[in-house]
Structure 1
Amino acid sequence: MAKTDKPEQKPHGSDIQVADILELQPTQEENSKLLRKLDLRLMPVMCACYMLQLLDKLTLNFSSQLGLIQDLNLHGSQYSWTSSIFYFGYLFWTWPSSWLVVRLPLGKYIAVTALLWGAIVMCHGACNSFRGFMTVRFLLGAAEAAVAPGFALIVAMFYRRDEQPLRQGLWFAGNCIANIIGGLVSYGIEHIHSPLANWRVLFLVLGAVTAAYSVLLWTFLPDSPTKARFLNTREKKLAVLRTLEDTSSAMDENDFQMYQVLESLKDPQAWLLVMYTFSVNICNGGITTFNSLLINGFGFGSFQTLLLQIPIGGCQLAVLVVMSIMASMFKTSRLLLMACACALSLIGMVLIYALDHTNAYGRLGGTYLAAVFASNTPMSLSLIASNVGGFTKKSTVNAMLFFAYSAGNIVGPQLYLSSQAPVFITGVSSTIAGFCLGILFLGILFTYYVLENQKRSRHSDTDSEVFTEEERPETFINKTDKENPRFRYLV
């Protein structure tokens, strides 16, 4: 290999040298065993955490059927603002969090934020005014800002590019499970006879569960492959080796690279993902907050409304499973699958908009279809994990995506005007427009990736992403996709 002046690299917090890692020659059986071990130790922990996060977020939706609006005397647009202020908090902490996930031990940071957001959820149950409720909603949004971007980075550190779509989908399945069991939990709490209002009990119970789970996160969620206590020394080396030869390889070196932040802000793919994310999350903000009120407006009672939201999670889970498997089988299918999911949700919103008000079950089916676009979130994160090189750049683009996610969720509820209840014609119409724009931005992003790959191939001697003997794979650790001439974008 050619000599370089660059000092020998080693993963942060470890005595493992990259040169030692490259000398390993693992068998296929070793690699398969390690992959199974990573799946069994990481995926359940992350999936359960994300399930709790969405459950805590959905408490606002469910509590609207448990007396929250009446007890806090919310009127006009105040209920909409209790949703939007959550995403103001999320947006406020997104950028600081993108810096902290690089500077702090990632697993421990996520565990601490889980403890904080669990405590804040419990504080919801003590609120007696709109002002107090708005305060805890803002703090909850800030506390939850680290989880999804942090999980996306963990997948990028532990899994190869072709393995990432399925694993991003596995932990995101917690989102679907939360939708399935959230209605059951709320329905059960509705039948509790307590001196406290049922909506207060809901916040107290779910918040306490999350706070307790943070201890498990602290114990079992690793900061990086070299700090994973469930791996022995050789397995740690193999875990790094598995991703080292990926052109998108990035290891947590606790070193924040400002030039990578600036590159992110000039990257067309980042801004196309931002515009797509903002457009479709206009729907997410409205549906997540107003689903109960929409279904209730179709003519169903409060108990029925809680139970009828259970199939939403089932629909999301079915689409997520299909998309994750297909994206793993076909390397160039991610953007097409995302566009298809958006199209299904678009059809659902058109049904809600166009069907007669007496067709309650047809419009209910529309709400089920409208929610399946949420399965695109892990696909978006897998695009960043696969198509963005450099740990700081990945973190920054993740932050940009969740900044847009917050903005869309802030705008969405404001378009569901209380004066239009239970039809919410402005909110439904804006959601239809959002899905149309989302599909458009995905098409532009696909075109950009194809043209950029063709351009790189014209200026390169080879289309191969495999390093030659003259090249040092460690040279490309934490280099961005713009810096690596062998980088090719996956679509």
Structure 2
Amino acid sequence: MSIPEKEIAHESKSGDTSPSRPHSDVEIGTVEEPSNNGDEALKFLKNAHNVGALTPEDERRLVRKIDWMIMPLMWCCYCLQYLDKTLVNYAAVMGLYEDANINTAQFSNLALFFYVSYLALEFPHGYGMQRLPTAKYLGAAVILWGLVTALTCVCKNYGALVATRVLLGCFESAVAPSLILITSMWYKKKEQPLRTGIWYLGVEKVWAIERLRENQTGIENTHFKFHQVLDCFKDPQTWMLSIITISSNVPNGAVSSYQATLIKSFGFSSKTTALLQLPSGAVSVISILIATYLAGRFNQRALNVVSLLIPGALGGCLMAFLPGESRVGKLIGNYLTNCIGSSLPLLYSWVSANIAGHTKKVTMNAILLMSFCLGNIIGPLTFRQGDGPDFIPAKVTIVVTCAFAAAMALVLRAYYMWENKKRDREDDGTHLENEEFLDLTDRENRRFRYRL
């Protein structure tokens, strides 16, 4: 059934006689009553009492309340997750090789096993998050990953380390897609780059839902819709986002796993190396805050992704091509590569802003995180034992993959501009009642406009 036919069927049930929208070539499944098949927000609004109009001051106060309840939890959750999965990077220069009797190839495998299990669980987690309460699902995953992290201290050999890394990947793989999903549920698109998390409010729930109509992405739907899965796989933006994520995470995987090894190769001791990693965190924090703020402020995610990949590529050049005695220059290059990983939150927010339809969002989140895993699997493998101690091929790979990811981000931006202009030409100004919460995908809803 095509979109116009679906709308006629819906209108005949609801009594709405508004004209249908322009024809779309996207085929979708049969739409049932909104109470059965629409977004959870629509069900809530049908049973909610009138709370009055949402004024600008009310909205500012509501957003502040959501932020204060959510942001600290979100920050702690994601920060601790990042530290957990990069623990081996710090341990590498503090005696891990000797204590666990492992070599360089086995160390690379620890990163590989983590991301393989991370990748394998993305689709099961996606299904679980749709069928079960997202907040409780995330909470269970956090508890289990914390338990596995605590057990890492008793690992004394390669086999034990592999077991904990596999389990860590299984449980941590639920975190990022949960946060992406929750971000799209409760924040406007312009707010999403800086905010994420879960919320709990009183009667203000009506306002919190109503203010999200402009997103056209809905909030939540527990019905699994296979036609939305197909829509996701047929959508060109899916694969462009996937390619950008893979290519930008090849250097991210290399840097996050081998940063300590690289700094030590510049001629520093183990203790000095540990201290010299501290500015890397500052570079990441500053670049994330600046890029995400600018992305939300000016609605330019692609340009901000590029602006983070350029210094990353420059950092790779400094590490690869400066002479061996230029320790400071190589160290600065290492710090600059930390901008690369900061592009990931922008990719998360790009997906949450431009993918509509709950099942499609869940599917896209899984593909995005699988792409993230593939990049992080490939990255450490570029560090081959025979290339040490300088690892020039791995550093050149950082430069090439950053340049390719930046080019693809611009291609995707051009695609969104073309698609938006096409929809502007088709738009006849009609509006289907509550279409924002009918759980339509971005390709089914021709009034949807993509964020650049």
TM-score, normalized by length of structure 2? Answer: 0.89
Spell out the pairing of 1:128-143 with structure 2 (5 A cutoff). 128-143=156-171
Distance 1:43 1:76, change over 3 A: closer
Is 1:408 matched up with 2:375? Answer: yes
- Residue identity over aligned pairs, in percent, reads 33
Is 1:389 matched up with 2:350? Answer: no
Q: Distance in 2 between matches of 1:129 and 1:376?
A: 35
Measured after TM superposition, the shift of residue 461 of structure 1 is: 2.2
Is 1:488 matched up with 2:449? Answer: yes
Which residue of the partner structure matches residue 288 of structure 2? 320
Measured after TM superposition, the shift of residue 359 of structure 1 is: 0.5
Q: Distance in 1 between matches of 2:423 and 2:55?
A: 33
Q: Distance in 1 between matches of 2:53 and 2:11?
A: 21
Is 1:65 matched up with 2:125? Answer: no
Which residue of the partner structure matches residue 296 of structure 1? 264
Measured after TM superposition, the shift of residue 18 of structure 1 is: 3.4
Which residue of the partner structure matches residue 126 of structure 1? 154
Is 1:261 matched up with 2:222? Answer: no
Q: Distance in 2 between matches of 1:367 and 1:307?
A: 14
Structure 2: gaps (5+ residues): 1-9, 15-31
Spell out the pairing of 1:13-162 with structure 2 (5 A cutoff). 16-18=44-46, 20=48, 24-162=52-190
Q: Distance in 1 between matches of 2:95 and 2:49?
A: 59
Q: For each residue in 1:43-74, what CA deviation from the matched residue of structure 2 results, as whole angstroms up to 9, or x when unmatched?
A: 11011111111111121101112211111111
Which of 389, 395, 404 is residue 428 of structure 1 equivalent to?
395
Q: Distance in 2 between matches of 1:321 and 1:132?
A: 37
| SS state at 1:162 partner | coil
Question: Any conservation in 1 of the 2:355–2:441 contact (CA below 8 Å)?
Answer: yes
User: Match of 1:258, as an amino acid?
Assistant: F
Spell out the pairing of 1:335-414 with structure 2 (5 A cutoff). 335-414=302-381
Which of 209, 216, 232 is residue 240 of structure 1 equivalent to?
209
Question: Any conservation in 2 of the 1:8–1:18 contact (CA below 8 Å)?
Answer: no
Distance 1:334 1:22, change over 3 A: farther
Distance 1:59 1:20, change over 3 A: same
Q: For each residue in 1:388-409, what CA deviation from the matched residue of structure 2 results, as whole angstroms up to 9, or x when unmatched?
A: 1111111111111110110111
Measured after TM superposition, the shift of residue 4 of structure 1 is: 4.1
Q: For each residue in 1:329-368, what CA deviation from the matched residue of structure 2 results, as whole angstroms up to 9, or x when unmatched?
A: 212x210111111011000100001101111110000011
Measured after TM superposition, the shift of residue 3 of structure 1 is: 6.6
The Cα RMSD (Å) is 2.1
Question: Any conservation in 1 of the 2:224–2:359 contact (CA below 8 Å)?
Answer: yes
**Residues 447-456 or 20-29, more deviating:** 20-29
Measured after TM superposition, the shift of residue 125 of structure 1 is: 1.6
Q: Distance in 1 between matches of 2:407 and 2:296?
A: 24
Measured after TM superposition, the shift of residue 473 of structure 1 is: 2.2
Question: Any conservation in 2 of the 1:245–1:473 contact (CA below 8 Å)?
Answer: no
Which of 438, 442, 445 is residue 477 of structure 1 equivalent to?
438
Q: Distance in 1 between matches of 2:41 and 2:146?
A: 30
| SS state at 1:252 partner | coil
Question: Any conservation in 1 of the 2:51–2:206 contact (CA below 8 Å)?
Answer: no
Q: Distance in 1 between matches of 2:164 and 2:128?
A: 22
Question: Any conservation in 1 of the 2:257–2:380 contact (CA below 8 Å)?
Answer: yes
Distance 1:23 1:485, change over 3 A: farther
Is 1:450 matched up with 2:417? Answer: yes
Q: Distance in 2 between matches of 1:11 and 1:448?
A: 28
| SS state at 2:408 partner | helix
Distance 1:474 1:485, change over 3 A: closer
| SS state at 1:16 partner | helix
Q: Distance in 1 between matches of 2:388 and 2:34?
A: 64
Q: Distance in 2 between matches of 1:457 and 1:28?
A: 28
User: Match of 2:316, as an amino acid?
Assistant: M
Distance 1:329 1:306, change over 3 A: same
Distance 1:489 1:15, change over 3 A: closer
Question: Any conservation in 2 of the 1:247–1:487 contact (CA below 8 Å)?
Answer: yes
